[in-house]
Structures are given as C-alpha cells and as structure tokens.
Amino acid sequence: MNLSLLILLPIITAMAILFSNGLKQIRVIGLLGSIAQLGLASWLLKLYLNERAIGNTATYLFESNYPWFSALHINYHIGIDGISLAMILLTSLIVVAGILVSWTMDKLSKEYFFLLVLLSMGAYGFFISLDLFTLFFFLEVAVIPKFLLIGIWGSGNKQNSAMKLALMLMAGSALVFVGLMGIYYNTHTFDIVQITQIGISAGVQQFFFPFAFIGFGIFAALFPFHTWVPDGHASAPTAASMFLAGISMKLGGYGCLRIASLMPDAAHHYAWIIILLATIAIIYGAFATMMQTDLKYINAYSSISHCGFVILGIGMMNKTSINGAVIQMVSHGLMTALFFAAIGMIYSRTHTRMIAQLGGLLKAMPFISTVFVIAGLCSLGLPGFSGFVAEMTVFMGSWQNPNGVYRLATIISGASIVVTAVYILRATGKTIMGPISNEHALLGDATWNEKLAAVLLIAGIVIIGIAPFLLNALIGPGTDNIMLQVGKAITLK
C-alpha cells in the first residue's frame, strides 16, 4: 500500500473544503475526510500487523523512494515502523475528534477547516518520512497553520501568543535545520536508513546533537523553551489547542527520538543534561500548574509536565524507558486532546474558563463532567487509563539506569504524581463538584458530535489502559531498532 496516500487524502479533503460553501457542507466534508483518514490508518495497521505476522522483520515497511532533488541527495523516502504507525493512529484519532468538536465554528469556517486538515497533513507527512529533509519539510508545513489558527480564531491576547508560538517554533526548526546540515555534511545523505549504516563520527555528533535535540525539544516543550506552550494553548481555539497539544508536541517528541537514534554517542554524552531538563520540566510544570486559575493554562502546564516524561524516557536510553516514552506520547496526546475538548465544551457553555467562577457542573452537564473527570484521572495516572501505563513504563525504564543520580531524578519525577494529583483534584473539585451557581444550572449537556469526539478519545485511552500489551507489541520492534543503534553506540564509545 503506497504510503503517500496518507498525505494525498488530507490534500484532497482540503481541496474539497475549499470548493464547498456553507458551514454544513464544509464540516461534513472535513469529517468524512478525517474518518476516511482514520479508516486508512487502521487499515494500514492491519496490513502492518499481518506483514509482521508473516515474519517480515525489515525495520521500515511500505517504503517508497523517489528522488526529489537528486543533486543534493534529497529523496522523498517514506516508510513506517511501529512507532510512527502508533503516532499516525494517534493523529488520525485526534483529527477526527478535533473536527467533531469544532462543529459549530461559524467564523470563517472554510479557512478554519482547511488549516486544520493542512496541519494534520503536515503531521502525517512528518511521521512517515524517512528522509531528514522531507521530515523537516513537513515540520515546516505544520507550523504555519498553527500560527494562523491561533492568530485569527484565538481568544485572549491571541496575536501576541500566536506570534510568540510561531517565532519559537521557527527558532526550533532553525536549530533542527542546523542539526540536519551537520548530519548531511558528514554523511552526504539525508536518508535515515543510510545514515544509521554510515554512522556519524563521535566528535561531529557531539557538536550537532544539541542543535537538533534542542530544536525538536522546543516543539516538545523542553524546559527552558516551553514558554510558548501556556500562552499558545490558552489562546488557541479548542480544536487548535487539541492539535497543538496532541500532535505538534508529539512531532517534537518523535523528532527527539529519531535524533537520539541517529546520534547515539552524543545522546549518551548529553544524557545527563536531557534528564536534568526533563526532571525540572516535570516538577516545575507540576508546581506551576498548581497555581493556575485558568483551565486551559492548567492543561497547558500539565502538558509540559507530561512531555517532560517523554524526554526523560528518551534521555534514559534503555529499551523500557524509550518504550515508555512512546506510550507516554500516545497517551498524553489522547489525554490532553480529551481535556481540551472537555474545557472547550465547558467554555462554549459557561463562557468562562476561570475555575473560581465555575462550580458544581456535575448537576448541569453530567456527561461533560464525567469526561472531564476521566481526563483528569487519566492524567493523574490512574490504572485502567493510559496515563498509568505510560508513566509506570518510564519509571521502570529510568529505574533500570545504573547511574545513581538518574535514580534520584526518577524519584523526583515520581514525586510529580502527587503534585499532579493535587492540581487535578483542585481543578476537578472546583469546576465539577461544589455548589452550582444558578446561571450555570440550566446549561445543556453535550451535543451528539461532542459526545462522539469524547467517546472516541476515551476509547483510545481505555484500550491502552486496559490492554497495553497491544501497543507494546506494536512499538516493540521500533524500539528494538532504536536500541540497536544505541547499543552500537555504547560499544562504540
């Protein structure tokens, strides 16, 4: 099955949206496109699984390779392994939920849906590309729609935060570009498969790794560069913040993973900085969330804390922790999307996100409050939801790291589960429970599209929560492949 279909479909939907008129037509086409994409992704999963079943142990499947700029050895080389397939499934799920949530977006709806689909197309391209340049290309494609989505349809000081977001992401991609150039200069190819075979000399790695890693780190809210996350998410419209948190942070995480696997020596060399930053991000994000009063800020800061786990997992450089990092990416994607969807629903009804003014919504809108509670409990790490599986794998993985100091880092990031419990309960306690103010009492519950979006995401969370061995089997070979290079690096050093 040709993977470019994954990119072609969103383009077709986008074009169809442009040619249709009237909100009803646009949103139906958008929904059909995204559902078709979800179908395509799950069909791809089926193909991938029985490909693996018949014992095809090639690292990347469904590869196709067309020269793009042959002079610069850049070719459009795409293929997927377990990890990128998991990411594609995650993205397609969030896209469907996102389009369902923004069902009543009447302001400039055509452009809105067009940008949403474009953003998803960027993400799909990013996950399937095996050529660093195509990877970078799709990374850029994904940045522009974010800026427009926040700038035009946002709330609060949207221009300011859109600008900040775009500038920081641009800085991130600039750093990534420097890293890629470094790699290209040394291996004369952009193709990931060849780079792993050729291998980059340790000295060069140590010079270019920080650029690429920090570049992707900015996308994944690495500690000092996370300031775009709170403003960006808080002033983005619901669907955009779902995409922003659900997908664009995963681009960063996935990118960090690829870079760590391409330059394993440097990853080992800089492991202590990565872990230090990740631990700070986790604890710092958790404590900062405790003090927030705006629901969206709470979720934004908690995404920083959760993405810290992803980077902690990558920093620890062993099989379980990288497995945990990937699961955390998937689970965090679903969880934040659900949380933002719930906040969006509450906001569209009560028109306020300040938890001080909200209260006792459980009476008025039982469905939305249960969704809110489920999202909270999942981010809390309650067993039975995906948050628990992800965090525990990361903890187990990072605990196996022989270095004593890293163990201290694990304990500190472990302490974050308590702080997460505090701010989640504080948020749910204030908004859902407690006495209900009269004007909120008569608000209606979720409409059918919001219910469908919530159910979709909850299904994802619960499936991973209850049967993690499925996801484990899917991403297993992917992490083995990464560990192969990392293993080589250790012996190399």
Partner 1 sequence: MSNYSYILLIPLLPLLTFLVLGIFGRKYFKTTAGFIGSASLLASTVLSFIAAKQYFFVDGKLNGVYQKIIAFKYTWLSFSPNVSIDMGIIIDPISVMMLIVVTSVSLMVHVFSLGYMKGEERFATYYAFLSLFTFSMLGLILSVNIFQVYIFWELVGASSFLLIGYYFSKPSAVAAAKKAFIVTRFADLGFLIGILILGFYGGTLDIGLLIERLTATQSAEFINMTTASFLGASMLTWGLSLIFIGGAGKSAMFPLHIWLPDAMEGPTPVSALIHAATMVVAGVYLVARLFPIFSMDPSSLSLVTYIGAFSAFFAAVIACTQTDIKRVLAYSTMSQIGYMMFALGISKLGGEEGLGYMASLFHLFTHAFFKSLLFLGAGAVIHMVHSNEMKDMGGLRKLMPITHIAFLIACLAIAGIPPFAGFFSKEEILTAAFHSNKLIYGVALFTAALTSFYMFRLYFSIFWSKESTLQHHHGEGTWSMKLPLLILAACAVLVGFVPFSNFITSDGKALETHIDLIFSIAPVGLTLIAISIAAYLYKKENDTPSKLAAQFGILYQAAFKKFYVDELYLFITKKIIFPFIGQPIAWADKNIVDGFMLLLGKTTAKISFKIKGIQSGKVQNYTLYFFGGILILSILFIYTWK
Please state, in angstroms and rounded to a whole number, the distance separating the CA atoms of residues 54 and 66: 27
SS3 of residue 3 by DSSP = coil
Contact residue for partner 1 among 348, 472, 484, 488 (CB under 8 A): 472
Which CB atom, from 7 or from 433, has the smaller least distance to partner 1? 433
| Residue pair 335/373 in contact by the 8 Å Cβ criterion | no
Please state, in angstroms and rounded to a whole number, the distance separating the CA atoms of residues 165 and 144: 10
Residue 425 lies near partner 1 (rule: CB under 8 A)? yes
Residue 415 lies near partner 1 (rule: CB under 8 A)? yes
Contact residue for partner 1 among 433, 443, 452, 463 (CB under 8 A): 433
Give me the least distance between CB of 360 and partner 1, in Å please. 6
Residue 145 lies near partner 1 (rule: CB under 8 A)? no
Give me the least distance between CB of 383 and partner 1, in Å please. 4
Residue 462 lies near partner 1 (rule: CB under 8 A)? no
Provide the b/e sequence for 409-423 (b: ≥16 CB within 10 Å): bbeebeebbebbbeb
Contact residue for partner 1 among 47, 202, 422, 452 (CB under 8 A): 422
Q: Which residues contact 316 (CB under 8 A, 6 or more apart)?
A: 271, 275, 322, 394, 397, 398, 400, 401, 406
Give me the least distance between CB of 371 and partner 1, in Å please. 13
Helix/strand/coil percentages in the chain, nearest 5: 80, 5, 15
Query: What residues from 241 to 300 belong to the interface with partner 1 (CB under 8 A)?
Result: 284, 287-288, 290-292
DSSP letters for 472-491: HHHHHHHHHHHHHHHHHHHH
Give me the least distance between CB of 306 and partner 1, in Å please. 16
SS3 of residue 401 by DSSP = coil
Which CB atom, from 85 or from 389, has the smaller least distance to partner 1? 389
Please state, in angstroms and rounded to a whole number, the distance separating the CA atoms of residues 342 and 340: 5
Which CB atom, from 250 or from 430, has the smaller least distance to partner 1? 430
Contact residue for partner 1 among 310, 389, 446, 461 (CB under 8 A): 389
Please state, in angstroms and rounded to a whole number, the distance separating the CA atoms of residues 190 and 73: 7
Residue 67 lies near partner 1 (rule: CB under 8 A)? no
Residue 397 lies near partner 1 (rule: CB under 8 A)? yes
Residue 241, both tokens: 């913040």
Q: Which residues contact 326 (CB under 8 A, 6 or more apart)?
A: 83, 86, 257, 313, 475, 478, 479
Which CB atom, from 108 or from 412, has the smaller least distance to partner 1? 412
Please state, in angstroms and rounded to a whole number, the distance separating the CA atoms of residues 397 and 322: 8
Host H or E run for residue 76: strand 74-80
Contact residue for partner 1 among 198, 421, 443, 462 (CB under 8 A): 421
Residue 417 lies near partner 1 (rule: CB under 8 A)? yes
> Residue 46 burial by CB count (10 A; 0-12/13-18/19+): exposed, middle or buried?
exposed
State the number of binding residues for partner 1 (CB under 8 A). 56
**Angle 366-380/448-466 helices, nearest 10 degrees?**
30
Which CB atom, from 66 or from 469, has the smaller least distance to partner 1? 469
Give me the least distance between CB of 320 and partner 1, in Å please. 4
User: Which DSSP letter does residue 356 get?
Assistant: T
Which CB atom, from 75 or from 292, has the smaller least distance to partner 1? 292
| Residue pair 441/363 in contact by the 8 Å Cβ criterion | yes
Report CA torsion sign: 242, 247, 249, 253. Answer: positive
Query: What residues from 319 to 378 belong to the interface with partner 1 (CB under 8 A)?
Result: 319-320, 323, 360, 362-363, 366, 377
Residue 237 lies near partner 1 (rule: CB under 8 A)? no
Residue 285, both tokens: 């994000």
Which CB atom, from 292 or from 485, has the smaller least distance to partner 1? 292
Give me the least distance between CB of 476 and partner 1, in Å please. 9
Residue 22 lies near partner 1 (rule: CB under 8 A)? no
Which CB atom, from 17 or from 432, has the smaller least distance to partner 1? 432
| Contact footprint for partner 1 (CB under 8 A) | 164, 167-168, 224, 226-228, 230-231, 284, 287-288, 290-292, 301, 319-320, 323, 360, 362-363, 366, 377, 381-384, 388-389, 392-393, 395-397, 399-400, 410-411, 414-415, 417-418, 421-422, 425-426, 429, 432-436, 468-469, 472
